[in-house]
Amino acid sequence: MYTVPKLEDFSPAALDAAAAELLAALVAESHAAADPRSFEEFRNRWMARKNGVLTQVNDLWLKAAPSPAKRDVGQRVNALKQRAEALVAEAEQLAATAALGSKLKSETIDISLPGIERPLGVRHPVLRTLDELISVFVKMGYSVAEGPEVESDYYNFEALNFPPNHPARDTQDTLFIANQEQRAQRDRLLLRTHTSPVQIRTMEKLVPPVRVICPGKVHRNDAPDATHSPVFHQLEGLCVDTNITFGDLKGTLDHAMKSLFGSAVKTSFRPSFFPFTEPSVEVSISCPFCGGKGCRPCKQSGWIELLGAGMVDPNVFGFVDYDPKKLSGFAFGMGVERLAMMTYNVDDIQQFFYGDMRFLEQFA
């Protein structure tokens, strides 16, 4: 291996010879530094401050040169340093490229290996049922309206003709927002118990004729069991125009139920009570499972009760400045989970809210 000789002769010819010998060694060693480890060794051997070849050249050639030769020696040593720096930089590049090449060679890609499967989500069965319902009514010309889940007493009850302290309020066990005692009753906030308040909000905004459906989440202070949940979904409907009759209500809901459950399904309307409709009805469909003969889902009755409905009470029109002498309308409301349970044959409403993948995956 090359070592830096001591110089006795500082004549240009002797300096040329010494420099040529050093340069030849430098070039040869730089070519041999082909991987990162030998490059490190190469750089240290030549460039190290302490005892690197170039430092030795400084000591043994430049410092040892007699005064008249100093200038000449200095220029040659500088030229050698510059060459050395350039060759080190070049060798560094080559070593890095070589390292990358061998890394790629060792990383063979096995294209037969199965990839990581990321399962696609699907729409929740309750929302799927809601979407189907919405599309049935949208095809009949209804548009979709939404309202807040935190609602005031006025919209949830009062404007729907539930007077303060009226016992009809007891049918909807309500969750109130705390610490509102200082507010007027009509402004107190609660979690809406039904989607009917969206009827009021819609009529406040729109000039009739009105045809809307209002899907959404509602809340009741009910203990969870197989058929009750403190959170569930409803689809509300409202149609207001001149000359809307009970016949329109029957025809609309009959058509909707046939679209959902098949054309063989029959509807039945029985008198009921809601403060915001007069008359009010409860709507049942003939059991789509047994065709009306009687089975477990219909509790042997042949009928399944599915929704509440009625003709909009004139008092409600009074709250939104609609003229009950010129206008009439019908409204309806249904529970979405109830329908989803029938559609997908689910016997416990809680299943919809557990988030259990074993349940949900069945809808994928």
Which residues in the 219-258 window bind ligand DAH by CB under 6 A? 236
Distance of closest approach, residue 308 Cβ to ligand DAH, in angstroms: 3
Q: Which is nearer to ligand DAH, 292 or 324 (CB)?
A: 324
Q: Which is nearer to ligand DAH, 39 or 332 (CB)?
A: 332
State the burial class of residue 356 (Cβ atoms within 10 Å of its Cβ: 0-12, 13-18, 19+): exposed
Q: Examine residue 310 and tell whether it contacts ligand DAH (CB under 6 A).
A: yes
Distance of closest approach, residue 352 Cβ to ligand DAH, in angstroms: 18
Strands 143-144 and 210-219: what pairing? parallel
Which of these segments, 173-181, 295-303, 308-316, 347-355, binds ligand DAH (CB under 6 A)?
Answer: 308-316
Neighbours of 8 (CB within 10 A): 7
Edge-to-edge strand order for the sheet containing 210-219?
143-144, 210-219, 231-241, 328-335, 303-312, 277-286, 267-274
Which of these segments, 52-60, 114-122, 289-297, 307-315, binds ligand DAH (CB under 6 A)?
Answer: 307-315
Which residues are paired to 187 by β-bridges? none
- Token duo for residue 126: 């309750």
Element (H, E) at 234: strand 231-241
- The C-alpha atoms of residue 327 and residue 324 are separated, in whole angstroms, by 5
Element (H, E) at 284: strand 277-286
Q: Which is nearer to ligand DAH, 216 or 310 (CB)?
A: 310
Q: Are 289 and 298 in contact (CB under 8 A)?
A: yes
Given candidates 43, 169, 192, 194, which one binds ligand DAH under the rule CB under 6 A?
Answer: 194
Distances (CA, A) of 8 to 16, 18, 63, 66, 87: 14, 11, 13, 10, 28
Which residues in the 333-352 window bind ligand DAH by CB under 6 A? 333
Distance of closest approach, residue 312 Cβ to ligand DAH, in angstroms: 8
85 phi and psi angles, rounded to 5 deg: -60, -45
Q: Which is nearer to ligand DAH, 2 or 273 (CB)?
A: 273
From 41, 46, 34, select the one nearest 82 (Cα to Cα). 46
**What is the three-class DSSP state of 338?**
helix
Distance of closest approach, residue 357 Cβ to ligand DAH, in angstroms: 31
Given candidates 197, 275, 288, 308, which one binds ligand DAH under the rule CB under 6 A?
Answer: 308
Residue nearest to ligand DAH (CB): 333
R_g over Cα of the chain: 44
- Token duo for residue 10: 């500082």
Distance of closest approach, residue 249 Cβ to ligand DAH, in angstroms: 9
Q: Which is nearer to ligand DAH, 78 or 245 (CB)?
A: 245
Q: Examine residue 331 and tell whether it contacts ligand DAH (CB under 6 A).
A: yes
Q: Examine residue 274 and tell whether it contacts ligand DAH (CB under 6 A).
A: yes
Given candidates 161, 277, 286, 328, which one binds ligand DAH under the rule CB under 6 A?
Answer: 277
Which of these segments, 55-63, 92-100, 143-151, 331-339, binds ligand DAH (CB under 6 A)?
Answer: 331-339
310 phi and psi angles, rounded to 5 deg: 165, 175
Answer positive or negative: Cα dihedral of 6, 9, 14, 19: positive
Given candidates 153, 332, 336, 338, which one binds ligand DAH under the rule CB under 6 A?
Answer: 332
Please give the DSSP secondary-structure letter assigned to residue 207.
P
The residue type at 342? M
Provide the mask over 59-98, with x wherever binding to ligand DAH is found by CB under 6 A and - wherever it is not.
Answer: ----------------------------------------
Given candidates 73, 80, 239, 309, which one binds ligand DAH under the rule CB under 6 A?
Answer: 309
Distance of closest approach, residue 253 Cβ to ligand DAH, in angstroms: 11
User: Which residues of the chain form contacts with ligand DAH (CB under 6 A)?
Assistant: 194, 196, 236, 274, 277, 308-310, 331-333
